[in-house]
Amino acid sequence: QVQLVESGGGLVQPGGSLRLSCAASGSISTIYAMGWYRQAPGEQRTLVAGITSGGSTNYGNSVEGRFTISRDNAKNTVYLQMNSLKPEDTAEYYCYVRATLLYWGPGTQVTVSS
The average pLDDT across 16-38 equals: 94
The angle at the Cα of 62, spanning 43 to 106, to the nearest 5 degrees, equals 50
Query: Read out DSSP for the chain?
Result: -EEEEEE--EEE-TT--EEEEEEEEES-----EEEEEEE-TTS--EEEEEEETT--EEE-TTTTTTEEEEEEGGGTEEEEEE-S--GGG-EEEEEEEESSSEEE---EEEEE--
Structure confidence at residue 108 as a pLDDT band (50, 70, 90):
very high
Q: What is the pLDDT of residue 36?
A: 98
Q: What is the pLDDT of residues 29-53, one digit of tens each?
A: 789 999 999 999 999 999 999 999 8
Average pLDDT of span 26-30? 84
Predicted confidence at residue 114, as pLDDT, reads 93
pLDDT at position 28 is: 81
Q: What is the reported pLDDT for 73? A: 84
* pLDDT (mean) for 10-21: 98
The predicted pLDDT at position 59 comes to 98
